[in-house]
């Protein structure tokens, strides 16, 4: 039996951040993860294959509205940090329209940009006159702010591809906060309709990224810091049973004894490990897995970062030029990762997905032809995107109150069940430890 003071379930980003906080008051900490020690990182894994660097959990751009959090993330990277311009596009009408689309419409033919602009302004007028208006569903939110053309030809097909659920069966509360200014901004829309370029969300014009090692180096720096302070890591151990003894101690998988648990593994996984009586509740949590297809190409990198692809006939919803973040040695070669979501527990045929991805990249004009492909590879992330089903708040609250009864705090993208980036996870861990 391994004995520890605090056991942290999950050694992803949330697990490491929690360990860093916990170590301020307690030196005996054990992180447990299903992945082996040589394959840790959660969603922040990167792989170097023949000099091409791929982020295995999807492209990870570091940015935040919260300057303090962003500063702390940059500090973890130290000297190993680049500031890069974000050149995102939407593939629409066989063109690359600068992102965000409502700013990029200046590229479209006159009739189309007038129609999109007029509909956006009509929505703004409606919003200004009906401040009490509140979208019930994600679909209401899209159509309530963006008008028919932009909704039908871009936002609806794109979101159907990423979420793979009826958009009117998804909640709106994660995108809509009452009182927030409706976007886009009138001035930007007017400029775009007039055919003039405008930038859009300024806080997203740049991002930070490790100079070497991919996003994993953010994780690795932190991992090294906490292990050097004595934090213990138990890898290759999928948590499937958590028992609480009368004394208040926890026994994890029958062989780890802890006085205290902090959870960062997905809520349905921890509920199932506590008691099978929670299986009804755990089955209500819905998510998408995400397949990442990496492709190395014998072509140079264009001046692009990520391209969003609403076309329903193309398998991926977006692709990113990883070689724009970290250049391969040979400037005449490049590499891409494309993202494909798969609803929870559906079978995944990686060979078929890779084939369709390469075809899609050729159709988008990213790859000239199949002969330019040096190699392709793929990875499955079982937990990619939490789904904001209509009852997500009720289910989350129930799960968190069950964990609280057991004396377990839960945090992270999966431990809080929120569509959070690294910055929001950091903020949530701060808040969790404030109320210790
Ligand atoms: C496609 C994609 C793109 C993203 N892009 C960005 C971006 O551009 N910028 C950004 O800042 N963030 C981005 N993120 C979000 C970022 O990856 C997350 O916020 C962060 O990594 C979440 O960390 P976590 O520890 O909460 O979860 P995870 O990294 O998922 O860690 C959970 C850990 O729990 C372990 N685990 C799960 N079940 C068990 C079990 N039963 N027993 C033991 N261990 C278990 C897993 O192995 C994993 O190590 C993106 C995410 C995705 C999916």
Distance 62 CA to ligand 1 centre (A): 14
Ligand 1 atom closest to the Cα of residue 16 is 25
Q: What is the largest CA-CA distance in the chain?
A: 73
Out of 413, 416, 426, 430, mutate this one to test ligand 1's pocket (max ligand atoms within 8 Å of CB): namely 413
Domain boundaries, the chain: 2-42+216-286+390-434, 101-200
Q: What is the CATH number of domain 2-42+216-286+390-434?
A: 3.50.50.60
CA 239 to ligand 1: nearest atom? 42
CA-nearest residue for atom 31, ligand 1, is 12
The whole-number pLDDT of residue 224 equals 96
Ligand 1 atom nearest to CA at 58: 1
Which of 21, 256, 421, 423 for mutating ligand 1's site (highest number of atoms within 8 Å of CB)? 421
CB-based burial label for 112 (10 Å; 0-12, 13-18, 19+): middle
> Using a 6 Å CB cutoff, which residues line ligand 1?
10-15, 32-35, 42-44, 57-62, 238-239, 264-266, 269, 290, 339, 383-384, 412-414, 420-423, 425
Going from the Cα of 289 to the center of ligand 1, the distance in angstroms, rounded, reads: 11
Burial category of 28 from C-beta neighbours within 10 Å (exposed 0-12, middle 13-18, buried 19 and up) = middle
144 alpha carbon – ligand 1 mean position (Å): 31
Ligand 1 atom 29: residue of nearest CA: 42
Residue 45's Cβ-count burial label (10 Å; 0-12, 13-18, 19+) is: buried
Q: How far is the CA of 192 from the centre of ligand 1 (A)?
A: 37
- Per-residue tokens: 287: 């998510």
* Interatomic CA distance for residues 16 and 27, integer angstroms: 14
pLDDT at res. 227: 95
- Tell me what pLDDT residue 199 has: 66
CA of 146 to the centre of ligand 1 (A): 31
Q: Give the Å distance between the CA of 223 and the centre of ligand 1.
A: 15
Q: Is 42 left (phi over 0), alpha (psi -120 to 50) or beta?
A: left
Give the residue ranges of the chain where pLDDT is below 50.
182
Site to probe by mutation for ligand 1, drawn from 8, 9, 10, 416 as the one with most ligand atoms within 8 Å of Cβ, is 10
For atom 21 of ligand 1, which residue has the closest CA? 43
- For residue 204, what pLDDT is reported? 67
Task: Provide the pLDDT for residue 30.
Answer: 97
Query: Which residue CA neighbors atom 1 of ligand 1 most closely?
Result: 58
157 class by beta-carbon count within 10 Å (0-12 exposed, 13-18 middle, 19+ buried): middle
Query: Long-range contacts made by residues 58-61, C-beta under 8 angstroms, separation at least 24?
Result: 58/290, 58/292, 58/337, 58/339, 58/381, 58/384, 59/306, 59/320, 59/322, 59/325, 59/337, 59/339, 60/209, 60/215, 60/218, 60/422, 61/86, 61/207, 61/208, 61/209, 61/305
What pLDDT shows up at residue 131?
A: 83
| Ligand 1 atom nearest residue 269's Cα | 41
Atom 23 of ligand 1, nearest CA residue = 13
> Residue 115's CB: how many other CB atoms inside 10 A?
17
Q: Which of 35, 41, 42 to mutate to test the pocket of ligand 1 (most atoms within 8 A of CB)?
A: 42
Give the integer Cα–Cα distance in Å for 404 and 387: 23
The per-residue pLDDT for 175 is: 86
Question: And the tokens for 422?
Answer: 């690294």
pTM over 0.75: yes
Q: Which atom from ligand 1 is nearest to the alpha carbon of 420? A: 19
The ligand 1 atom at the shortest distance from the C-alpha of residue 15 is 25
State residue 357's pLDDT score.
98
């Amino acid at each position: 039996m391994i004995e520890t003071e605090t056991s942290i379930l999950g050694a992803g980003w949330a697990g490491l951040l929690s360990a860093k906080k916990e170590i301020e008051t307690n030196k005996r900490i054990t992180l447990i993860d299903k992945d082996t020690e040589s394959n840790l990182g959660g969603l922040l894994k990167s792989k170097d294959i023949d000099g091409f660097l791929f982020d295995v959990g999807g492209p990870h751009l570091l940015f935040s509205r919260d300057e303090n959090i962003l500063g702390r993330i940059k500090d973890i990277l130290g000297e190993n940090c680049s500031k890069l311009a974000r050149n995102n596009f939407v593939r629409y009408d066989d063109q690359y329209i600068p992102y965000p689309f409502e700013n990029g419409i200046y590229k479209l033919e006159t009739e189309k940009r007038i129609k999109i602009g007029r509909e956006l302004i009509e929505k703004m007028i409606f919003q200004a006159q009906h401040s009490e208006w509140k979208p019930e569903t994600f679909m209401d939110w899209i159509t309530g702010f963006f008008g028919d053309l932009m909704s039908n030809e871009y936002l609806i097909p794109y979101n159907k591809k990423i979420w793979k659920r009826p958009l009117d069966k998804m909640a709106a509360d994660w995108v809509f906060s009452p009182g927030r200014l409706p976007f886009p901004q009138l001035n930007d829309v007017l400029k775009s309709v007039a055919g003039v370029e405008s930038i859009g969300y300024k806080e997203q014009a740049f991002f930070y990224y490790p100079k070497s090692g991919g996003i994993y180096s953010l994780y690795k720096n932190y991992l090294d810091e906490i292990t050097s302070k004595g934090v213990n890591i138990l890898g290759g151990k999928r948590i499937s049973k958590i028992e609480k003894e009368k004394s208040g101690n926890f026994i994890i998988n029958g062989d780890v004894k802890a006085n205290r648990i902090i959870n960062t593994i997905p809520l349905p996984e921890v509920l199932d490990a506590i008691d099978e009586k929670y299986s009804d509740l755990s089955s209500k949590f819905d998510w998408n897995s995400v397949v990442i297809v990496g492709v190395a190409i014998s072509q140079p990198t264009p001046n692009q970062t990520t391209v969003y692809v609403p076309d329903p006939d193309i398998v991926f919803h977006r692709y990113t030029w990883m070689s724009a973040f970290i250049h391969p040695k040979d400037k005449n070669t490049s590499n891409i990762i494309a993202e494909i979501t798969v609803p929870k527990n559906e079978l995944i045929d990686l060979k078929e997905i890779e084939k369709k991805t390469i075809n899609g990249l050729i159709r988008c004009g990213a790859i000239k032809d199949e002969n330019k492909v040096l190699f392709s590879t793929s990875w499955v992330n079982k937990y990619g995107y939490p789904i904001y089903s209509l009852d997500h708040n009720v289910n989350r609250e129930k799960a968190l109150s069950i964990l609280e009864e057991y004396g377990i705090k839960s945090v992270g993208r999966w431990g809080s069940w929120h569509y959070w980036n690294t910055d929001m996870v950091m903020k949530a861990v701060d808040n969790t430890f404030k109320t210790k």
